[in-house]
């Protein structure tokens, strides 16, 4: 005779599932917090680094390029300000520095978008690239991209025959070298 | 046609789409204004017909397959008009005058030149100003006649010169 599962067993199973879910989201939450924190620490270090090595960054073209790549990877846009961002690093207290060219916080999705554009080496991404390569749905991709447009990080290009492209000046080679020229002639 | 050194933006495809974000658009319009001024200056050109301009290399970068639409050109020119750098000539806003120097600047430039050359209180024709030997090498040499007259009128308002007509000719007397 086949034994039917009793009410108690079902409840026990449901309870376990709930516990798993709770634990799962707890772990996820922890990971997210840790990651955000790491990113924050890294950014702080980057800012401190920029202020310490200001003259070296200005003098050495190769060093400057590496530094800019690093900035792009973490989502700090050294070109957000026309003057170049090492000029806008201002002291706000004992050993604390404020980088004014960072327009608001970059969330994780935006960082992933920048990383994608950086890996592709195209200086642009599109909704279809994000949905295909990152397995995002349309809404997630559009939200991230629209947000970056609103923050002044991305430029919209509607003249591609297939779809709207989102361009990042900080990754566009000619723009980067133009700003290098501007810095080195100062 | 003189060679134009294109800024990096000219090869940046979204430069040819008017940007939706206000701050980005402000940067974009500023860069377009500079480029338009450089381009027209090197061609000694002061008027532009939007209907034809779309095909000019200035607004049409064939190497990246991007062009500025007539509506977008109008947006930029209307922005320039706000700061006195351009003005529509016809009511339908198809033809525009572009002042790569403001009318005031043109006026002062001509006035200084007249001063240095001891032309105060003498009358010279507008032809002399635009095409005379004395003004060769000056920025206003060959300047569009309508723009020249407007510049002199702004100078006249300040009491620094007087425009006059004689025979079939127009002239100006500097004070």
Q: How far is residue B136's CA from residue B121's CA, in Å, rounded to a whole number?
A: 21
pLDDT at A102 over 70: no
Q: Dihedral of CA A66/A69/A73/A76: which sign?
A: positive
pLDDT at A124 over 60: yes
Residues in chain B within 8 Å Cβ distance of A124: 13
Q: How far is residue B93's CA from residue B76's CA, in Å, rounded to a whole number?
A: 12
Q: How far is residue B89's CA from residue B69's CA, in Å, rounded to a whole number?
A: 20
Q: Does the distance separating the beta carbons of A157 and B13 come in below 8 Å? A: yes
Q: Say whether residue A167 is in contact with chain B using an 8 A CB cutoff.
A: yes
Of the candidates B77, B83, B143, B157, the residue with the CA atom closest to the CA atom of residue B113: B143
CB pairs A-B closer than 8 Å: 50
Q: Average pLDDT in the A15-34 region?
A: 76
Q: Does the distance separating the beta carbons of A156 and B19 come in below 8 Å? A: yes
DSSP secondary structure letter of residue A170: G
Q: Which domains does chain B have, with CATH numbers?
A: 8-98 (1.10.10.570), 103-174 (1.10.10.10)
Q: Which of A30-39, A107-116, A136-145, B126-135 has the lowest mean pLDDT?
A: A30-39
Q: How far apart are the first and last CA of chain A?
A: 89
Closest-CA distance of chain B to residue A151, Å: 8
Closest-CA distance of chain B to residue A61, Å: 18
Percent of chain A surpassing pLDDT 90: 23
User: DSSP 3-state assignment of A156?
Assistant: strand
What residue ranges do the domains of chain A occupy? 1-86, 104-186
CA atoms lying within 13 Å on the CB side of residue A120: 19
In CATH, what is the architecture of A104-186?
A: Orthogonal Bundle (1.10)
Pick from B12, B21, B23: CB nearest A172: B12
Find which of A105-109, A181-185, B36-40 is predicted with most confidence, using mean pLDDT.
B36-40
Pick from B20, B27, B66: CB nearest A156: B20
Chain centre to alpha carbon of residue A94:
28
- How far is the CA of B90 from the CAs of B94, B96, B102, B139, in angstroms? 7, 8, 20, 26
Phi, psi for A96 (deg, rounded to 5): -110, 140
Chain B residues whose C-beta is within 8 A of a chain A C-beta are 7-9, 11-17, 19-21, 23-24, 27-28, 65-67
Pick from A150, A156, A178: CB nearest B8: A178
Q: What is the pTM of this model?
A: 0.65
How do the pLDDT tens digits run along chain B, 175 residues long? 557 889 999 999 999 999 999 999 999 999 999 999 989 888 888 899 999 898 899 999 999 999 999 999 999 999 999 988 899 999 889 999 998 888 888 999 999 998 888 888 888 888 888 888 888 888 888 888 888 999 999 999 998 889 888 777 888 989 8
B16 neighbors B70 (Cβ within 8 angstroms): no
Spatial neighbors of A49 by CB under 8 A, at least 6 apart, are: none
Residues in chain A within 8 Å Cβ distance of B24: 149, 152, 155
Q: How far is residue A12's CA from residue A6's CA, in Å, rounded to a whole number?
A: 10
Closest-CA distance of chain A to residue B43, Å: 25
Of the candidates B110, B103, B113, the residue with the CA atom closest to the CA atom of residue B154: B103
Closest-CA distance of chain A to residue B161, Å: 41
Q: Say whether residue A27 is in contact with chain B using an 8 A CB cutoff.
A: no
Helices (H), chain A: 7-52, 54-59, 61-74, 108-120, 127-133, 138-150, 173-184
Closest-CA distance of chain A to residue B70, Å: 14
Of the candidates A82, A68, A86, the residue with the CA atom closest to the CA atom of residue A171: A68
């Amino acid at each position: 005779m086949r034994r039917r599962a009793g009410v108690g067993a079902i409840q026990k199973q449901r309870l376990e599932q709930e516990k798993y879910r709770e634990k799962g989201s707890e772990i996820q939450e922890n990971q997210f917090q840790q990651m955000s924190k790491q990113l924050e620490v890294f950014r702080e270090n980057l800012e401190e680094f920029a202020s310490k090595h200001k003259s070296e960054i200005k003098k050495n073209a190769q060093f400057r390029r590496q530094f800019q790549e690093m900035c792009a990877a973490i989502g700090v846009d050294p070109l957000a300000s026309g003057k170049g961002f090492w000029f806008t690093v201002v002291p706000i207290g004992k050993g604390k520095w404020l980088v004014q060219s960072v327009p608001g916080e970059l969330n994780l999705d935006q960082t992933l978008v920048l990383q994608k554009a950086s890996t592709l080496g195209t200086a642009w991404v599109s909704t279809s690239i994000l949905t295909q390569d990152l397995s995002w749905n349309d809404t997630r991709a559009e939200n991230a991209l629209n947000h970056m447009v609103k923050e002044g990080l991305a430029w919209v290009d509607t003249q591609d025959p297939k779809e709207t492209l989102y361009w990042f000046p900080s990754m566009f080679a000619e723009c980067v070298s133009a700003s290098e020229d501007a810095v080195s002639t100062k | 046609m003189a060679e134009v050194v294109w800024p990096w933006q000219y090869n940046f495809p979204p430069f040819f789409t008017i940007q939706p974000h206000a701050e980005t658009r402000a940067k974009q319009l500023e860069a377009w204004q500079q480029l338009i001024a450089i381009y027209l200056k090197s061609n000694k050109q002061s008027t532009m017909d939007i209907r034809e301009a779309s095909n000019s290399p200035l607004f049409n970068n064939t190497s990246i397959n991007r062009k500025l639409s007539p509506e977008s050109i109008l947006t930029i020119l209307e922005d320039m008009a706000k700061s006195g750098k351009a003005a529509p000539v016809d009511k339908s806003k198809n033809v525009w005058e572009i002042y790569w120097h403001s009318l005031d600047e043109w006026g002062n430039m001509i006035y200084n030149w007249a001063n240095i050359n001891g032309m105060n209180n003498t009358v010279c024709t507008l032809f002399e100003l635009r095409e005379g030997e004395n003004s060769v090498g000056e920025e206003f040499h060959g300047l569009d006649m309508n723009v020249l007259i407007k510049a002199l009128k702004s100078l006249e308002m300040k009491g620094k010169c007087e425009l006059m007509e004689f025979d079939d000719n127009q002239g100006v007397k500097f004070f």
